[in-house]
Amino acid sequence: MTTLLPRAGPAGAEPGSEAESGAGAGVGAGAGAGVDVAGSGGSLGMAETHVVTNQVPPFVGHDVAADPPLLEAVARENAAWCLEDLHRLGRLAGSEQAQRWGDEANRYPPVLRTHDRYGNRIDEVEFHPSWHAMLDVAVREGLGAVPWTEPGPGAHVARAARFTVWGTIDAGHLCPMSMTYAAIPALRTTPELAAVYEPLLGSREYDPGLREPTGKRGLLAGMGMTEKQGGSDVRSNTTTATPSGDGSYRLRGHKWFTSAPMCDVFLVLAQAPRGLSCFLVPRVLPDGSRNPFRIQRLKDKLGNRSNASSEPEFDDTLGWLVGEEGRGVRTIIGMVAMTRLDNVVGSAGAMRAALAQAAHHARHRSAFGSLLVDKPLMRNVLADLAVESEAATALAFRLAGAVDRAAQGDAGEAAFARLATAAGKYWVCKRQPAVVVEAMECLGGNGYVEESGLPRMYREAPLNGIWEGSGNVNALDVLRAMLREPDSVEAVRAEVAAALGADGRLDAAWRQVEHDLADPADPELRARRTVERLALVLQGCLLVRHAPTAVADAFCASRLAGDAGLAFGTLPRGLDLEAVLERAPAGR
């Protein structure tokens, strides 16, 4: 893997004549040297004046998994066995072919077909072939429910690693993969249903098209909670579920956001006689006829455009009860916890992908006489982004490891995952947009242009913070866990205790968190601040224990001791930025 160590001199372009734009470009030796606009070679394809120089090579043909912080985190969390294979997937994700799939699936978004040519309702969504190509790989690589059907040490971590690597090409198609993965804990509350559907959700075969689910080679799952009058407040759901006397229920009502509506089965909340309950709703009934699932329209979304998000109406729609009647929230929260993990893993992956683009550009682009990567201020920006990315990755994989051990019966890890996932979801997802914007700026004007891929990353960036509990809701969920599940606080304390004493700044930050937690005044008002600090301490603990000193030092100085500005690129002097940048992904 190529690193970001400084180079002896500019690659390719020689400094040209004195440029007017030199003013303010640097304060050290060589500042003011101009940009080579004339060049000395290149093609004259367009016009005699048109010589292309100093443009970076395409960021393609690399191994997306060649990322030390990622590889180390995966190995640390018991999934070293998947690393060799992860590089294979990483090379596929970095290939021109896979990148084209991601691009096309977003450029040609899904189209709703409500009726067939004869006027019959079909409620189908047509996707570009590239969408199917990406899902085919995702399912084969086990991004669905495979950790549940092929369990073992590191199973969830290995999946998270593949998820983050493959997700580099497109986040949209990860949505049905997440929901398929996440549905299992909820489904297992009803063993009869789990016995039928779990093996199919854990299949490695992508079998698209609406057909009777049990006759298919593999299934995908979605979820329907959000309604017009409330998404966070799901208890305000008005969809009703009436027992039909044969053990099934009939649903009537609407949903306001139901993504990936071509999934085979959905976990849906509806009001049953004993209260809000969770139901498994198939799109095709056992007799092969369509279950009413009337898609009114697809959302015209900011990003996530490869994926369809729909507004379905249910009318006499069949559903089977999952979990106990009246305990719908409790049942579906098992699914939400897993999708939140994927939000954290996905956001960490998106940050890494944005950093890689920025680093690649800086390694190849010269300005004012030398490569951008050799400019002290650009090194500060890139190092700051690298620290953020590494902290996000470390926390994401610590959470995946906790889920893994919880799935094997470790109650302490389950308690840790309960609180730390909500805190991680709040903080890591909130950092994604800031990182992507800064990475885009590293590419200058080229980053603002669609072909660079950064605009798509930018449009995608806020989403993980919004769905599966928007920022405030997650912050409040951390408080709820602290109040109602004291074992989760103890698990976090134990985690922190393992790192205390190594860095005084970490110790001081933790004392502040303990102080925040003990303060009874206005906990809701202060929730974001408390949770942000908690998440930073958890990240600091991981970096102090496991990352190179340079990374931990930069993190503790800037994020815990406050020796930094509000923007990226404000790390203080005296840090070993060379060592930090050595770990940044940079393509070939």
Ligand X SMILES: Cc1cc2nc3c(=O)[nH]c(=O)nc-3n(C[C@H](O)[C@H](O)[C@H](O)COP(=O)(O)OP(=O)(O)OC[C@H]3O[C@@H](n4cnc5c(N)ncnc54)[C@H](O)[C@@H]3O)c2cc1C
Give the footprint of ligand X on this chain (CB under 6 A): 222-226, 230-233, 257-259, 301, 304, 309, 463, 466-473, 476
Q: Which residues contact 88 (CB under 8 A, 6 or more apart)?
A: none
Shortest distance (Å) from residue 270 CB to ligand X: 12
Which SS3 state, helix, strand or coil, does residue 357 take? helix
Cβ atoms of residues 127 and 110 within 8 Å = yes
Distance CA 220, CA 120 (A): 25
User: Which C-beta is closer to ligand X: that of 261 or that of 401?
Assistant: 261
Shortest distance (Å) from residue 205 CB to ligand X: 23
Shortest distance (Å) from residue 293 CB to ligand X: 13
Rounded to whole angstroms, the maximal C-alpha distance in the chain is 85
Q: Which residues contact 133 (CB under 8 A, 6 or more apart)?
A: 101
Q: Is the dihedral of CA 227, 232, 238, 241 positive or negative?
A: positive
Distance CA 289, CA 266 (A): 17
Supply the DSSP string of 140-190, one letter for each residue.
Answer: HTT-SSHHHHS--TTHHHHHHHHHHHHTTS-STTHHHHHHHHHHHHHHTTS
Shortest distance (Å) from residue 54 CB to ligand X: 38
User: Which C-beta is closer to ligand X: that of 148 or that of 426?
Assistant: 426
Shortest distance (Å) from residue 321 CB to ligand X: 18
User: Which C-beta is closer to ligand X: that of 405 or that of 430?
Assistant: 430
Distance CA 194, CA 299 (A): 31
Shortest distance (Å) from residue 472 CB to ligand X: 3
User: Which C-beta is closer to ligand X: that of 182 or that of 560?
Assistant: 182
User: Which C-beta is closer to ligand X: that of 269 or that of 382?
Assistant: 269
Distance CA 147, CA 155 (A): 5
Q: Which residues contact 197 (CB under 8 A, 6 or more apart)?
A: 187, 213, 219, 221, 265, 280
User: Which C-beta is closer to ligand X: that of 168 or that of 309?
Assistant: 309
User: Which C-beta is closer to ligand X: that of 15 or that of 222?
Assistant: 222
Cβ atoms of residues 231 and 309 within 8 Å = no
User: Which C-beta is closer to ligand X: that of 276 or that of 359?
Assistant: 276
Q: Is the dihedral of CA 9, 55, 59, 72 positive or negative?
A: positive
* Closest-CA residue to 547 (of 396, 420, 391, 398): 391
Shortest distance (Å) from residue 395 CB to ligand X: 21
Residue nearest to ligand X (CB): 231
User: Which C-beta is closer to ligand X: that of 15 or that of 469?
Assistant: 469
Q: Which pair of structure tokens corresponds to residue 357?
A: 């683009």
Shortest distance (Å) from residue 527 CB to ligand X: 8
Shortest distance (Å) from residue 234 CB to ligand X: 8
- Can you count the helices (H) and strands (E) in the chain? 19, 12
Angle at 232 between CA 417 and CA 269, to 5 degrees: 90
Shortest distance (Å) from residue 196 CB to ligand X: 23
Distance CA 57, CA 60 (A): 8
